[in-house]
Structure 1
């Protein structure tokens, strides 16, 4: 499988605090890679670097085999890396299509020097992105506030697809969701995988990780303590691995 993302010796220091101490990991195209660990293990710092929010202090990051160093999340997004945080960063009073196209609105020329929003095209494309995720939202003019947590995740993911994201980072996507909504979000992640999109999943929910991830990387004190495939891994086994920093021998 093609390695789409490679981190080598990635480190981050905040003053006297060494949040990451030299992380090596890789992700393949169309893979769901879970990043797990206790609080303070370095998960948030890692995704902030990969998403372009923070620069690294040392080490390298390669995307599609080319070394990259971003100065902002917009740089990462333009390179095909989108991040969906727990709060989703959606505007609840705006419509579905407005949220999907926010910051990248389409315009049409009506007169020389006069351009108007191409609302018809954006509505149609928004519906297409949602269909790619097997989401049936008939009215994309409805405000996002009208929809469930799982459907809002779909809107946030559709926005990432609008930016042609090849890697989607999802930070605690099922936190505070009910059973039905959690199942919807996990189905969305599987749908991304079938389309060749790589998902970096940060989650404290062991059952979700085991159900949807292909591999798990466990961070401990800013280092990769253990990693392995999820085949044969139980939620209890994963929880033990996070606690001990050792991959279960039976997994």
Structure 2
């Protein structure tokens, strides 16, 4: 498949997990991919970037535009986690998580939008989470940030649909990523915690990074030109399926 041939994509949070899987898949399908992350990694153009800092974001987007001459796709995947109920995190931690997970998307989109508007098929895909539409224990701050991502996605889709830029989000369930691995490692009983995560999925397993990447590629693809304002769940049935106990 080569539907991305000649197109340039930016993927944030591209060094591992869902971001790395997305970089690999878009390259396989013909895109030139700039990976923005705090760490160097393998892609067509690795750029060290902190999405929490406007100057870093602006410089990174300018670097990509100068190198490739165009930007057609923006994958806003960078994000950080948080654990606990509403009492568990300080004001500073709330500001830190919202700054990366929500304002970071706004910064990246603001910087990339002039280039996306010039593309024949500009597309933005944001990484949301199943904790936005579903109440999950001990995820108050993280859920608040991802709920904002869902709302921001729909607002951006409305703002830019008539300008030719599509905006969608992928909504992963519990995924087999380095962040989840760290959470499990910190649990009192990692094996039991892992079994509980798998057990709450109707499929009986975690979502893979590759499965989320395929959903992102669909939303970003010019073949999905009629799809905008969509929150696409890749959650093993967690949202919509209820099995008898």
Q: Which has the higher helix share?
A: 2
User: TM-score, length-normalised on structure 1?
Assistant: 0.32
From the CA coordinates, give the structure whose radius of gyration is larger.
Answer: 1
Q: Which has the higher strand share?
A: 1
User: TM-score, length-normalised on structure 2?
Assistant: 0.32
